[in-house]
Chain A
Amino acid sequence: MTSFQSTLGEDEGIAEELAKGQREISIAEFFEKNKHMLGFDSGARGLVTAVKEAVDNALDATEEAGIQPDIYVEISEVRDYYRLVIEDNGPGITKEQVPKVFGKLLYGSRFHAREQSRGQQGIGISAAVLYSQLTSGKPAKITSRTQGSADAEYFELVIDTDKNEPEIRTSKTTSWDRPHGTRIELEMEANMRARQQLHDYILHTAVVNPHARFELREPGLDEPMKFERATDQLPEQTSEIRPHPHGVELGTLLKMLAATESYSVSGFLQEEFTRVGAKTSSKVIDAFRDRHFGREMTWKTPATHESDELVAVVEDAIANKGKGPTAAFAEELVDIVVGKDRIAHEELEQIVGNVAESVGAETDTSFGDTVQANVVEALWPVLTEDREGDIYSLVDEVTTTKKSDAGKVSISRSIATQFAETTGPADRATHDDVDEFVTWAAERTKERQDETYGETARENIVDALWSRMRTVSDDVPKVRDIADDRDVARDLLEGMRETDILAPPTDCLSPITAELVEEGLKKEFDADFYAAATRDAEVHGGDPFIVEAGIAYGGELKSEGSIDLLRFANRVPLVYQQGACTITHVVKDIGWRNYGLDQPGGSGMPNGPAVLMVHVASTNVPFTSESKDALADVPAIQDEVELAIREAARDLKSYLSKRRSLQKRRKKQDVLGRILPQMATKLSEVTGREEPNIEGALARIMNNVSVDRDVDDGKVTLTVKNYSSTNEAPDITDIVSAEPSGLNGDATVVDLDGEWFVKWSPEVSAGESATLTYSVAQDASFDINVDGVETEKLTVNA
């Protein structure tokens, strides 16, 4: 720059010279140079991204049409290129739309909508088309058949990268065996080095879309990979919503103010935002008034015995209205004022106005505006005579007893001075003003009394003052005035943010739901334990979002190395840039040892046989880049991700700790099961008696439920003893080879081909026992089965 400037005087044509080189860049051309931003940075990656874009579109299209998705992906080698075919059973695309959808970047219906969908910018599939044409020179081949139409439309098209417009090479009708759907065929320079990511993408997509069916064929597979449907339940249809007041930024607000057809702020708020009705809008407007106009301080009204004096003041202020009416006016007014606890300037004006009307009517006298103003002007100084004393009592109330009285008097006096001298006649101040008053007063007190009012003490005083101040009723500016004034708009924005407003409706979101998250994990991972959690919706930048987490543990999952983390945004798996993703950051920051997972060093990715999946659904997912690989570190989202994971992890923890305690119990039972019989044998040797029965002792030690059988001359006694500390309800089935008779209690007998099933489900309280007796022929044999009690807690001796 400096070099140009130094030569400016000599060569005036330089700007024109430069201008010759400046021209509009077509968006297609721009992305041609920035392929990496869209996930097409390498041949390996490009293939995965192309599949991803096409599958995402297919899923969105089918779901929108209420069709259970059936998606077919095929990759094959064709000479030097790879051919990619993706077919869906969606509603199809009309003949007019096909070229635009596939042949024009940034064409889409979703960019402007606040609604959860997989694609957002409308670049994905057209970028794939572009990538294919740039690497292979071949046009994209698209077949689409809409429901009910007899034929399918077939196109071959390329993108004109200068104009960002589709260029149709071939267009004809053709026949297709699918009744409806879309098929896209792309040829591109690529390789299969990212095979793992491709498989992951399809697998993960199957996990979060349990309602969809997928089939993948690629050269490295002997058999096609098939993922079957686990549920018939389609995701909830989403609907579009207006922005939420907590989520907009100043620039957006200004744009909305400029564009709205509303005239009043109240109308604007209710029309343009979600969750704002009359009540909320008046709350927002009050909060705006507090910021824009400030509040008015209320002061303690004089005691009743000072009424006479006040009446005199009022009477003096009224001229030429006759003695009777003047006295009536003054007395009525003073009565009302004294009857109030505290009063603000505006309130006084209102009261004066009311009294003027009522007394005026009674006495047939007109107390006009001038009279009213005179009265207020005369009365207000009297009412605010003792600001210092009033503030002192507030300060005294909220400061600790440790503060000296002299200090309190000093700070109160300084605050009172501020109100008297800087707020105009109405004692009106914003929160910031009050803050300044108190800070200034505290400094003076430090100087004069050498007493420090720290931050907390000052805050308490500010809060006490602010709570005594009243929101004013001044008219708020009109929408068009706010739209022109950044500062006023900022006050409005702050008012919106300060006000408690219901979270945005979530019908714009379609979470998978905890139940289906678990279902999806169960479908694709063979584990021992599954848990899932879906959080309530939260808001970020006016966009609601929902976070869900699921965990699968144990079973066939690999136990060495770190756990597998599956990240999803709006049901789309994120397979690249795991390290840059906020989900990964959150997972690494959680202390997994608390949840029973190994975590070397106490932070970072935990180890163990587990799969953790996190799904963030939002009307606007904040990605770190256009390629949509990683979620940005947005605090509101991070918090929810953490809470969702912790919720699911808590279930894992209790599962693991239960498993560990059962393992310990099993181990103890194993050891005792070895030691106690040896001891019994030894004892019988020493005492010369028969070996004692140790089952009772063992069951008691293990706090178990024991089931014993005693057969005496055809009389069978089953005894259930509960040595545990909780109630137990075992289901006992005794299979007897001969017909039992004389059953007591509530047992039932079922005859099944010469075997009798005696079913008995006693409720046994802690420390109690239950018995069942029946008679049976001498040579009967028994086979007992006990359910409803964990194996580890059961001692069967029958």
Chain B
Amino acid sequence: MASESKTSEEIARERLIDLAAEFYDQFDRGEIPEMKLPTRTKSNIEYDEDSHVWVYGDRTSTRSANSVRGARKLLKAAYTIEFLARQLDEDRSSTLRELYYLSESWDAEEAHFSDQDESNQLVEDLEIVSKVTREDFHMRPEESGATLMGPLQIREQTRRGERKIHCQGDVGEGGYQIPNNPDTIEFLDHDIDFVMCVETGGMRDRLIENGFDEEYNALIVHLKGQPARATRRITKRLHDELDLPVVVFTDGDPWSYRIFGSVAYGSIKSAHLSEYLATPEARFVGIQPQDIVDYDLPTDPLADSDINALQSELDDPRFMTDYWEEQIELQLDIGKKAEQQALAARGLDFVTDEYLPTRLDEMGVI
């Protein structure tokens, strides 16, 4: 394991330096330094038949020193490459936020990042061009705080040594917190029938309180809104390595469908990592627009931004299936949205006693 990770670090370092060398050569040849990247918009993602995930298409955009803006980006890239290469050399790691603040210490003022989005994006750019993941650059996001709860025993390689943890027995009600690099986890043993990813904390707590995980041998993954990479990565590993069905349970609004989309199909921003992060077999439980109608759930009207988001999902290749088209059209038609917790209108146990068993049965999961 140790030698393996060292190799990936070496590869990461090498690739970064190769990238710098490419810029160098461009200068030397009297050419304008540039970096070609796939265009990261929904019009440039396509379904990969082999891996069943959505990846970037052929369209590329160029960051070129031709303009002042492009030149600044490349200058920042050069500084970031140097920083990452040294970090790998010294076997240290840092967070994305630290990188943003660290840029303030660079001597070239033009190289300072103006906000964290910019530094995050640059790291993603470097991932794409060098084909090395952020984790291998030793760049961490801030803890997302997403958790697992269910009949699973794991071994985690922490900086303070190995830990063996049972994700039901050894943890409190809060569950087991997913580490930033879930590849340091080894699955030891489990009793899981299916993995259920839940969007909101309120619903996750309801399921635990009602003992849903125990009753159905379910591993509850708390997504905490738009899931972090680590959350999506561990979900994928649970599916691939333990051969478990994965279902996603979210609110019934367009933003929540995107949460499902990023678990199942990969996100547009990180489509270069879809193969590594997306679980194409994941399925959507609800809340479906159909449920709003069937269970007569308490609702809020769709805001204009919701309607725009739904319209835009209709153009999104990830949602171009009969199921989604039907559901989205229905939602636009009724003009309503509902939260997961709207199910409580039928009593606190309705979700665990009635809604989920019925839905999961329909889907053939239980």
Contacts and interface: CB of A to CB of B under 8 A. Distances in A.
B75 A692 contact: no
B151 to A, nearest CB: 49
B195 to A, nearest CB: 43
Nearest to A696: B30
Contacts of B66: 701
A693 B75 contact: no
A241 to B, nearest CB: 62
A62 to B, nearest CB: 60
A668 interface: yes
Contact of A693 (B20, B28, B32, B33): B28
B216 interface: no
Nearest to A703: B66
Contacts of B152: none
Given A672-B68, A676-B65, A700-B32, A683 B27 contact: yes
B33 A697 contact: yes
A687 B28 contact: no
Contacts of B110: 671, 674-675, 678
B71 A686 contact: no
A685 interface: yes
Contacts of A675: 65, 68, 71-72, 75, 108, 110
Given A675-B110, A678-B110, A683-B78, A697 B20 contact: no
Contact of A671 (B16, B26, B71, B82): B71
A689 B24 CA distance: 9
A679 B33 contact: yes
A668 B21 contact: no
Interface residues of B, number: 30
A685 B82 contact: yes
B23 A679 contact: yes
Nearest to B79: A682
A776 to B, nearest CB: 25
Interface in A691-731: 692-697, 699-701
A678 B33 contact: no
Contacts of A700: 30-32
Nearest to B33: A697
A775 B332 CA distance: 81
Contact of B27 (A668, A671, A672, A697): A697
A689 B108 CA distance: 20
A675 B27 CA distance: 13
A768 to B, nearest CB: 14
A680 interface: yes
A684 interface: yes
B23 A678 contact: no
A676 B27 CA distance: 9
A693 B24 contact: no
A668 B70 CA distance: 12
Contacts of A685: 82
A682 B78 contact: yes
B21 A687 contact: yes
A111 B262 CA distance: 92
Interface in B1-59: 16-17, 20-21, 23-24, 26-33
Contacts of B71: 671-672, 675-676, 679, 701
A675 B75 CA distance: 7
A701 B65 contact: yes
Contacts of B74: 679
Interface hub of A671, A678, A689, A694 (most chain B Cβ within 10 A): A678
A697 B75 contact: no
Interface hub of B21, B27, B33, B75 (most chain A Cβ within 10 A): B27
Contacts of B248: none
A673 to B, nearest CB: 10
B270 to A, nearest CB: 26
B203 interface: no
Q: Interface extent on A, as a size class?
A: 20 to 34
Contacts of A696: 27, 29-31
B21 A694 contact: no
Contact of B23 (A668, A671, A683, A699): A683
A683 B26 CA distance: 11
A680 B28 CA distance: 10
B87 to A, nearest CB: 13
A694 B27 contact: yes
A676 B33 CA distance: 10
Given A678-B111, A682-B82, A687 B75 contact: no
A683 B82 CA distance: 8
B111 A697 contact: no
A678 B68 contact: no
A740 to B, nearest CB: 26
B65 A687 contact: no
Contacts of A682: 20, 75, 78-79, 81-82, 108
B338 interface: no
A682 to B, nearest CB: 4
Nearest to A688: B17
B70 to A, nearest CB: 9
Interface hub of A689, A693, A699, A701 (most chain B Cβ within 10 A): A701
B85 A686 contact: yes
Contact of A678 (B29, B67, B75): B75
Interface hub of A680, A686, A694, A700 (most chain B Cβ within 10 A): A686
Contacts of A687: 17, 20-21, 24
Interface string B127-140: 00000000000000
Contacts of B75: 675-676, 678-679, 682
Contacts of B111: 678
Contacts of B72: 675
B155 to A, nearest CB: 37
A500 B12 CA distance: 85
A701 B82 CA distance: 25
Nearest to A669: B68
B31 A686 contact: no
B24 A697 contact: no
A680 B82 contact: no
Given A668-B68, A701-B65, A683 B24 contact: yes
A692 B65 contact: no
Contacts of B16: 686
Contacts of B108: 675, 678, 682
A686 B18 CA distance: 10
Nearest to B26: A697
A686 B65 contact: no
Contacts of A699: 30
Given A693-B27, A697-B26, A700-B31, A679 B21 contact: no
Contacts of A678: 75, 108, 110-111
Interface string A227-263: 0000000000000000000000000000000000000
B40 to A, nearest CB: 23
Nearest to B71: A675
A700 B71 CA distance: 13
Interface in B55-108: 65-68, 71-72, 74-75, 78-79, 81-82, 85, 108
Contacts of A676: 27, 65, 71, 75
B32 A697 contact: yes
Contacts of B24: 680, 683-684, 687, 689, 692
A675 B78 CA distance: 11
Given A678-B110, A687-B17, A697 B30 contact: yes
B38 to A, nearest CB: 23
Contacts of B79: 682
Interface in A161-206: none
A448 to B, nearest CB: 58
B34 to A, nearest CB: 10
16 contacts: A671-B68, A672-B65, A675-B65, A676-B27, A676-B71, A678-B75, A679-B78, A682-B78, A682-B79, A682-B81, A683-B23, A686-B17, A686-B78, A692-B28, A696-B27, A701-B66
Given A695-B30, A697-B30, 10 more contacts: A671-B71, A674-B110, A675-B65, A675-B108, A679-B33, A682-B20, A697-B31, A697-B32, A700-B30, A700-B32
